[in-house]
Amino acid sequence: MRSELLEELKELTYFFSTRTRVSSSEGIKESQDKVREFIKRKLKLPFIEESFEVDKNIPIEASIKLNGTQVKGYPFVGSLWGDREAEVVREDEDVNGKIALVEVGGEREGEKVKKLKERGAVGAIFYLEELESPYIGNVSDEPYMALSVDRETAKALLGKKVRIESKVRKLRVKGKNIYFDIGKGPFLYIMAHLDSKPFVYGALDNAVAVAFLLILAKELRDSYYFPFRLRFLVTDGEELGLEGAKHHVKNLKHTYYAINIDSIGWLNPAVIYKDSEGFNGEKIMEKFYKHLRDLKIDIPFREGKRGRSDHIPFKQKGVETLFLSSNPFTFRHTFYDNYEAIDWDVMDMWFDVLSSFLRRFHKL
């Protein structure tokens, strides 16, 4: 990547990652304005906005009360408003009528919550074993009282009778996707989501990828002449349940391939060949593997059992999908996911790999 493009990438990323970008918030509106400004002034390309609305429980705050003291917690997206009082026990114990203490990992939070409800647990407190940070999760598909605390707090609560309180705001989220095209022919999508989880800045997930997408478009705008139309899609509402992508694919036409860029700025670059919704596109992954081999670059193909991102609605429509990410990605949905965590050497590698891949795509 040329030095001036790298500096521009850093500048855009810093803007996006110094504000939380929950859908419908001021932070995402400011970031969307920045995207529009870049497309107009730097790319000088027409673009389209599409709006969608969806009802969601957006977290405000949570607390845990124990023996007259109060500890701060963080409600999950989709958590219920209210309070519960019960003993805290491990998730693998008898949780009936109790609050389950749940380690993040393995199954997705929604699946864990569904099973806890079936077993009679009245609420759940999640924690990360790997980091001393709360984890901001999502139980939107399974309404339930779920919140997170840091590791030390979680373990101190075990066996204690506590009162958990969760405050959320039921909001009609007004989301916006923004997209633009380069070239002609059937569509090859390159997408990244702009929104972040509540409470976190989401520099890796996914501010840097949106900035990357815009800089990639700048690089290819005047040097892409191949038989696919590149559609650059910046989605909203991914962290609320892939809502922007779900809306976009309702009118999908003439689309054979889609590349999703999510959380690429971390130390462990990876191609996710299989995620929580099954295998991704065989043909496009073969093309990408051949390209990496030609470049003599080793990016591992990994299974991401919890992986769930904006390519999935495309995959469900029969589109060949390529999911570029990081695995393992320890900082996901935590307070550590900030601008200082980005590895710019990794971003430089991704830029060279993907820009050349798109230019060679029709030959691979």
The full set of domain ranges for the chain reads: 3-54+173-363, 57-170
Residue 60 has pLDDT above 80, yes or no: yes
Residue 10 is predicted with a pLDDT of 98
Q: Does domain 57-170 have CATH number 3.50.30.30?
A: yes
Residue 210 has pLDDT above 80, yes or no: yes
Distance CA 197, CA 202 (A): 7
Share the mean pLDDT of the chain: 96
Lowest mean pLDDT among 199-208, 224-233, 236-245: 224-233
CA angle (338, 340, 346) in 5-degree steps:
100
Burial of 348 (0-12, 13-18, 19+ CB in 10 A): middle
Residue 17 has pLDDT above 90, yes or no: yes
Instruction: Please give the structure tokens belonging to residue 163.
Output: 């009162």
pLDDT tens per residue, range 140-176: 777 899 999 999 999 999 999 999 999 999 999 999 9
141: which DSSP letter?
A: T
Residue 218 has pLDDT above 90, yes or no: yes
Tell which wins on pLDDT, 50 or 228.
Answer: 50
Lowest mean pLDDT among 16-20, 170-174, 220-224, 350-354: 220-224
Residue 227 is predicted with a pLDDT of 86
Q: How confident is the model at residue 222 (pLDDT cuts 50, 70, 90)?
A: confident
- Is the distance from CB of 304 to CB of 274 less than 8 angstroms? yes
- Percent of the chain residues topping a pLDDT of 90: 91
Tell which wins on pLDDT, 154 or 225.
Answer: 154
Residue 24 is predicted with a pLDDT of 95
Domain 3-54+173-363, what fold? Aminopeptidase (3.40.630)
Residue 346 is predicted with a pLDDT of 98
Residue 314 has pLDDT above 90, yes or no: yes
Mean pLDDT in residue range 197-225: 94
Q: How confident is the model at residue 226 (pLDDT cuts 50, 70, 90)?
A: confident
Distance CA 74, CA 153 (A): 12
Q: How confident is the model at residue 224 (pLDDT cuts 50, 70, 90)?
A: confident
Lowest mean pLDDT among 176-180, 181-185, 193-197, 315-319: 181-185
Instruction: Please give the structure tokens belonging to residue 12.
Output: 């855009």
Residue 142 is predicted with a pLDDT of 75
Distance CA 213, CA 221 (A): 12
Residue 306 has pLDDT above 90, yes or no: no
Mean pLDDT in residue range 92-98: 98
Residue 203 is predicted with a pLDDT of 98
For 129, residues 6+ apart whose C-beta sits below 8 A from its C-beta are: 103, 104, 105, 151
Equal fold, 3-54+173-363 vs 57-170: no
CA angle (320, 345, 284) in 5-degree steps:
10
